[in-house]
């Protein structure tokens, strides 16, 4: 099984929605642009939030098992996917990339 590199690419924060609808919470999202995680199968990488993992885990597993070309040509790199977490207040976009068998 291949490992999958998960890179934090972008985060959007909707302060108007947060102010109107969200209860105040501490440390809602601690991810940083450029932060990298390595997934090894179904095990969620340490430091990656549950919401993000739920949004991407099925894509990670497909890539880890050699699958590619999601949605018939969606990505320029067929062994990758661009996935966003399902946080409606501060969605984060992640680039998922299958690594070579011997890569870390």
Q: Is the pLDDT of residue 27 over 60?
A: yes
Q: What is the pLDDT of residue 103?
A: 53
> Over 60: is that where the pLDDT of 104 sits?
no
Cα separation, 62 vs 83, whole angstroms = 13
CA angle 30, 3, 36 (to 5 degrees): 25
Q: In the structure, what pLDDT confidence band is assigned to residue 82 with cuts at 50, 70 and 90? A: very high
- State pLDDT tens for residues 36-81: 999 997 789 999 999 899 999 999 999 999 999 999 989 999 999 9
Is-contact 57 40, C-beta < 8 A? no
């Amino acid at each position: 099984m291949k490992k999958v590199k998960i890179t934090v690419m972008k985060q959007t924060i909707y302060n108007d929605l947060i102010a109107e609808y969200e209860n105040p919470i501490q440390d809602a999202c601690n991810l940083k642009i450029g932060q990298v995680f390595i997934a090894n199968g179904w095990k969620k990488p340490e430091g990656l939030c549950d919401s993000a993992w739920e949004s991407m885990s099925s894509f990670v597993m497909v890539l880890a098992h050699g699958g590619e070309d999601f949605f018939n040509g969606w990505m320029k790199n067929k062994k990758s996917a661009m996935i966003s977490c399902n946080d409606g207040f501060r969605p984060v976009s992640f680039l998922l990339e299958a690594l070579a068998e011997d890569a870390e």
